[in-house]
């Protein structure tokens, strides 16, 4: 029986050999993820659309360099690099670090954040009937939080994949994710109190 993974591997193999139809099927599978990741990084829908299109073109041009593993992670890394290229072109990159870093280039981690036993927001995404509202709250997070929580809690990538995609140390992924989850929890609690107040 042909599994989804083996089917995808067949598409990748055919696309590597120049089969545009096979690559277009991959595009249909991943274009929304690519767009949302770009938007999580840059926070601008128009720029995200441009980044997605440019990234898909780059993916097709460079699919011969794909060495197996997660195609999704490989594509999202291209999206991240393309987003960084946009920042450099528009001179919108930051001139100072957002968080203090140690000598290894990792952010100093607060035990309060890392020890926080917050459950994944994925369960909330699945249970919340107003998913659109939840995504609006995600959009309110700073890009450096939004990108991490989207990759791990929405797209279900692991920490190592997220670190590789975003070009940041593993410790930075963990600290940003903990802070992002706490901010999301605060937003969800605030929304719940407002709805309860209206209901009352």
CB atoms within 10 A of CB 30: 21
When pLDDT is cut at 50, 70 and 90, the band that residue 3 belongs to is confident
Q: Residues 83-135: pLDDT tens digits? A: 888 777 765 444 334 444 555 555 544 433 333 444 455 554 444 445 566 77
Lowest mean pLDDT segment, chosen from 37-41, 61-65, 94-98, 154-158: 94-98
pLDDT at 197 over 70: no
Output the average pLDDT for the chain: 76
Q: Residues 17-29: pLDDT tens digits? A: 888 898 899 889 8
CATH of domain 111-199: 1.10.10.10
pLDDT at 173 over 90: yes
Integer angstrom CA distances of residue 11 from 17, 20, 97: 10, 10, 41
pLDDT at 174 over 80: yes
Q: Which CATH number fits domain 4-90: 3.40.50.720, 1.10.10.10, 1.10.1740.10, 3.60.21.10?
A: 1.10.1740.10
- Where do the structural domains in the chain lie, given as residue ranges? 4-90, 111-199
**Res 178: pLDDT:** 92
**CA 103/CA 90 separation, integer angstroms:** 29
Q: What is the largest CA-CA distance in the chain?
A: 62
Q: Which residue has the higher pLDDT, 187 or 133?
A: 187
Per cent of the chain over pLDDT 70 is 70
Would you give the end-to-end CA distance of the chain in angstroms?
55
**CA 35/CA 55 separation, integer angstroms:** 10
């Amino acid at each position: 029986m042909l599994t989804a993974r083996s089917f995808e591997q067949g598409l990748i193999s055919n696309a590597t050999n120049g089969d545009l139809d096979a690559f277009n099927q991959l595009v249909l599978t991943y274009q929304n993820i690519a767009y949302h990741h770009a938007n999580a990084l840059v926070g601008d829908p128009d720029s995200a659309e441009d980044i997605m299109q440019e990234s898909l073109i780059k993916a097709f041009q460079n699919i011969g360099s794909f060495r197996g593993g997660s195609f999704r992670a490989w594509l999202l890394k291209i999206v991240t690099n393309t987003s960084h290229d946009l920042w450099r072109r528009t001179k919108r990159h930051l001139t100072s670090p957002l968080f203090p870093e140690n000598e290894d280039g990792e952010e100093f981690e607060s035990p309060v954040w890392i020890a926080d036993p917050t459950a994944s927001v994925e369960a909330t995404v699945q249970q919340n009937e107003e998913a659109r509202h939840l995504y609006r709250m995600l959009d309110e997070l700073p890009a450096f939080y939004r990108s991490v929580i989207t990759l791990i809690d929405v797209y279900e990538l692991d920490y190592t994949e997220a670190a590789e995609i975003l070009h940041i140390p593993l410790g930075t992924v963990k600290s940003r994710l903990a802070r992002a989850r706490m901010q999301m929890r605060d937003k969800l609690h605030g929304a719940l109190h407002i709805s309860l107040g209206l209901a009352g």
